[in-house]
C-alpha cells in the first residue's frame, strides 16, 4: 500500500520553491500613494426617533424627556428595542451606535447586551463602544432586537438633574446608505413587571434566563410588549442597588396596625422611570408606556417583599404600603389587571396577604386585583436541597415559576 505520508514532502518548500515564491510575492501589484483605492462603503444612520425603532414600554428615556432625536437610555436589565430596515446591498454594513461618555473608572463592569438579528443570537456583548454586527441572514428585510442583559447594581438610577452613569445609551443604527428604514411593529398592550434582584435575574446568566423574561416572551406571542422594572435589594419599603441608589417602591411611615401612615412621594419610585425627574405618568396621571396619553399597561405584576423581610421593615408600614400602592396603581391604570405575588420563599407573606385582603374589602368591585401565592412547596424547594436554587432561583426554578405564574395570570 502506498505510504501517504510521502505527500508531506510537497509542503516542505525546498530552496528552489522558496525562490519561486519570493519572485511571485515581489511581482504582486502594489499601490502608489496617489493610486485610486476602492472607496469605503457609504453609510447612513437610522436615529432613535425613527419609526423604525420600537422601544420597550416604561423603561426608556431620551435626551428630551422621554423622547428626542439624540439618544434613548435605560438602566433596567430586561429592557429591549427592535429596529427594522430593508437593504439589498451585499455585503451589508451594520453598527449599533452607543454613547459611552457617561462611564468612568467607578464602573468596573460595563453593561452587557444580547442581540438577535434575523433569528441569529449573540450574548454577553460588552457596551464599551459602538458594536459591529455582522451576522446577517441572506434576506432583504432585517429585524434587530437588542436586550440589556445585565449591568452592575450601582449608579444606575441617577439623581434629580443628573443621569445615572451605569446605563445603556443608544444613539442609532448605522446601515448602508441605500437601506430603507421600515416602521417597526409595536403593540399598545403591555405588562409592567416590578420586582427585586429575583425579577432582575440575579443568580442566572442575565435577564434572559429569568421568569420576567419568560413571561414577557410568552405574552409577546399574544401581542403584548413588556417592561421589566427591577433591581437588587429593593422592596416596597427598601432602597435598591448600591449605595441605596434606587428609591423604595412605595414609602409609608407612621402607620398603625397596618393602616394609615404618611406616603412620601420623594422616597417612592412607583411613578418614576429613573432618578432624573422622568415620570412614568402622563399628563392625566396615568402610567404611560412611551410618554403619551392613554398608554397604560394592560397588566401589572409585582414581586416585592423578600428584601423587606431581610431588612426587617416595620410590618405595619409594609402592610399599609402595599394597600396604598394598590390604590395608587388602580388610579393610574384603571383597566389593568394587577397581580400581587407572594414571594417565592414566602417572605413577608402575612403582611402582603393582609394588605391584599384590606384592599379587597374596601374595593369589592375591583375583580382585577389578584393575589398569586405559589404555596409552601416552592418555598421549601428553594430553602432546602437547592434543586430550584436558593434565595435566587436558578434557571430551572425561574422556568418552573414562570409557567406557574403565567397559568395564574391567564386564568384570572
CATH code assigned at 130: 2.60.120.260
The confidence band for 84, taking pLDDT boundaries of 50, 70 and 90, is very high
Q: Count CB atoms within 10 A of the CB of residue 101.
A: 8
Mean pLDDT of the chain: 90
Q: What's the confidence (pLDDT) of residue 139?
A: 78
> Residue 316 corresponds to which cell in the numbers above?
405595619
pLDDT digits (tens, 9 = 90+) for 267-306: 999 999 999 999 999 999 999 999 999 999 999 999 999 9
Residues 347 and 332 in one domain: yes
- Whether the model pTM is above 0.85: yes
Residues 318 and 174 in one domain: no
Beta strands at 141-150 and 61-64: parallel, antiparallel or unpaired:
unpaired
Residues 210 and 348 in one domain: yes
Question: Has residue 77 been placed in a domain?
Answer: yes
Contact 409, 339 (CB under 8 A): yes
Question: 144 is in which domain, residue-wise?
Answer: 43-182
Question: Has residue 242 been placed in a domain?
Answer: yes
Q: What is the helix (H) or strand (E) element at residue 69, kind and residue range? A: strand 67-74
Query: How many domains are contained in the chain?
Result: 2
Q: What's the confidence (pLDDT) of residue 40?
A: 65
Last residue of a domain, one of 182, 210, 229: 182
Task: For 230-293, give the DSSP string.
Answer: E-TT--SSS-BTBTT-BPPSS-EES-BTTB--EE-GGG--TTBSSSSS-BSB-TTS-B-SSSSS
Last residue of a domain, one of 182, 204, 236: 182
Amino acid at each position: 500500500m502506498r505510504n501517504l505520508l510521502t505527500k508531506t514532502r510537497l509542503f516542505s518548500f525546498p530552496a528552489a520553491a522558496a525562490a519561486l515564491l519570493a519572485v511571485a510575492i515581489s511581482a504582486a501589484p502594489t499601490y502608489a500613494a496617489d493610486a485610486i483605492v476602492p472607496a469605503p462603503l457609504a453609510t447612513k444612520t437610522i436615529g432613535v426617533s425613527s419609526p423604525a425603532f420600537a422601544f420597550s414600554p416604561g423603561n426608556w428615556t431620551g435626551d428630551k424627556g422621554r423622547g428626542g432625536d439624540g439618544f434613548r437610555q435605560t438602566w433596567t436589565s430586561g429592557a429591549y428595542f427592535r429596529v427594522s430596515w430593508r437593504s439589498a446591498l451585499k455585503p451589508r454594513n451594520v453598527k449599533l451606535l452607543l454613547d459611552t461618555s457617561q462611564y468612568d473608572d467607578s464602573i468596573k463592569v460595563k453593561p452587557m447586551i444580547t442581540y438577535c438579528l434575523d433569528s441569529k443570537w449573540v450574548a454577553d456583548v460588552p457596551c464599551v463602544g459602538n458594536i459591529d454586527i455582522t451576522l446577517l441572514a441572506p434576506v432583504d428585510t432585517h429585524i434587530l432586537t437588542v436586550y440589556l442583559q445585565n449591568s452592575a447594581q450601582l449608579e444606575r438610577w441617577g439623581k434629580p438633574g443628573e443621569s445615572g452613569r451605569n446605563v445603556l445609551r443608544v444613539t442609532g443604527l448605522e446601515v448602508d446608505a441605500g437601506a430603507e428604514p421600515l416602521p417597526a411593529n409595536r403593540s399598545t398592550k403591555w405588562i409592567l413587571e416590578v420586582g427585586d434582584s429575583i425579577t432582575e435575574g440575579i443568580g442566572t446568566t442575565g435577564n434572559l434566563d429569568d421568569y420576567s423574561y419568560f413571561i414577557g416572551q410568552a405574552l409577546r406571542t399574544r401581542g403584548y410588549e413588556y417592561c421589566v422594572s427591577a433591581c437588587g435589594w429593593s422592596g416596597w419599603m427598601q432602597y435598591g442597588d448600591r449605595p441605596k441608589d434606587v428609591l423604595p417602591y412605595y414609602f409609608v411611615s407612621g402607620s398603625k396596625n397596618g393602616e394609615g401612615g404618611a406616603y412620601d412621594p420623594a422616597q417612592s419610585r412607583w411613578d418614576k422611570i429613573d432618578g432624573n425627574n422622568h415620570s412614568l405618568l402622563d399628563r392625566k396621571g396615568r402610567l404611560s408606556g412611551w410618554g403619551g396619553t392613554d398608554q397604560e399597561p394592560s397588566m401589572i405584576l409585582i414581586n416585592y417583599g423578600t428584601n423587606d423581610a431581610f431588612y426587617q421593615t416595620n410590618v405595619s408600614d409594609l402592610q399599609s404600603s402595599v394597600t396604598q400602592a394598590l390604590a395608587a396603581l388602580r388610579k393610574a391604570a384603571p383597566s389593568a389587571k394587577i397581580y400581587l405575588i407572594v414571594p417565592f420563599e414566602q417572605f413577608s407573606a402575612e403582611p402582603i396577604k393582609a394588605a391584599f385582603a384590606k384592599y379587597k374589602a374596601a374595593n369589592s368591585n375591583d375583580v382585577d386585583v389578584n393575589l398569586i401565592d405559589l404555596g409552601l412547596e416552592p418555598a421549601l424547594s428553594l430553602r432546602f436541597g437547592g434543586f430550584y436554587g436558593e434565595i435566587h432561583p436558578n434557571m430551572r426554578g425561574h422556568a418552573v415559576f414562570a409557567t406557574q405564574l403565567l397559568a395564574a395570570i391567564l386564568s384570572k
